[in-house]
Amino acid sequence: MVLAAGLGVRMRPLTSAVPKPLVPLDGKALIDHVLDRLALAGVKRAVVNVHHMADHIEAHLAGRKSPAIEISDERDALLDTGGGVLRALPRLGNSPFYIHNSDCVWIEGAKSCLEQMAQTWNPDVMDTLLLLAPVTDARGYAGRGDFNLAADGKLSRPPAGKETPFVFTGVSLAHKRLFAGAPEGKFSLNILWDRAIGAGRVHGLRHEGVWMHVGTPDAVRQAEECMRRARG
């Protein structure tokens, strides 16, 4: 599941004429960075939700062969992350599936992050597995972090206003049972994560490469410079 329905407000003026998933980064649209990485990890089919400038995204993806693309149409109402996945859930099957933000970009460490997530997945103890980056190593990120990561891999939230070592990268693996009893309409995945954290069913995996938070025009420039340096 690739989340591509957002308004891209913080990315203006780059999103004045194109939706955020089509903003170019290092010569390629953000969403193509995502889809190419999913294809390399063996993903055969991706469901992409659309709302803002939906026609632009559909036209851009029309020629993709790998992964094969299905569109989940949210033109009628923007549903946020949780509501968007819930609408697409019948298309996602019964196996665990990736949920991937369309602006999530990184430089790999020694191993593929997506493949490591698949290898780490344990349905006996997990409803979802989140890929986390150390706040100290994240590029273009100035927040306080999102989660604490315990030695056994379980996640917890920090007390309100407190800093925490790890930030969510925008990629997770989930089972459809995470969405059991989910609200209708617009809602955030955070609602389901917090419920599952209470049940001890949310785990995290540390990102070993370089994660880049690409949320503003300046962050695009920083990410491009980071990618150029990595190429040598």
Q: Going residue by residue through the chain, which has 232 residues, state the pLDDT in tens, using 9 for 90 and above.
A: 999 999 988 889 888 889 999 999 999 999 999 999 999 999 999 999 999 999 999 999 998 899 999 999 999 999 999 999 999 999 998 999 999 999 888 998 888 999 999 999 999 999 999 999 999 888 888 788 999 999 999 999 998 888 899 999 999 999 999 999 999 999 999 999 999 999 999 999 999 889 988 888 988 998 898 888 888 7
**For domain 2-231, which CATH number applies: 3.40.640.10, 3.90.550.10, 3.30.70.100, 3.30.70.20?**
3.90.550.10
The 3-class secondary structure across 127-181, one letter per residue, is CEEEEEEEHHHCECCCCCCCEEECCCCEEECCCCCCCCCEEEEEEEEECHHHHCC
Helices (H), 41-186: 54-61, 80-88, 113-120
Contact 57, 51 (CB under 8 A): no
Q: Determine how β-strand 148-149 pairs with β-strand 155-156.
A: antiparallel
Domain map of the chain by residue range? Answer: 2-231
pTM, rounded to two decimals: 0.94
Q: In this structure, are residues 179 and 89 in contact, taking their beta carbons and an 8 Å threshold?
A: yes
- Structural contact between residues 173 and 117, judged by C-beta atoms closer than 8 angstroms: yes
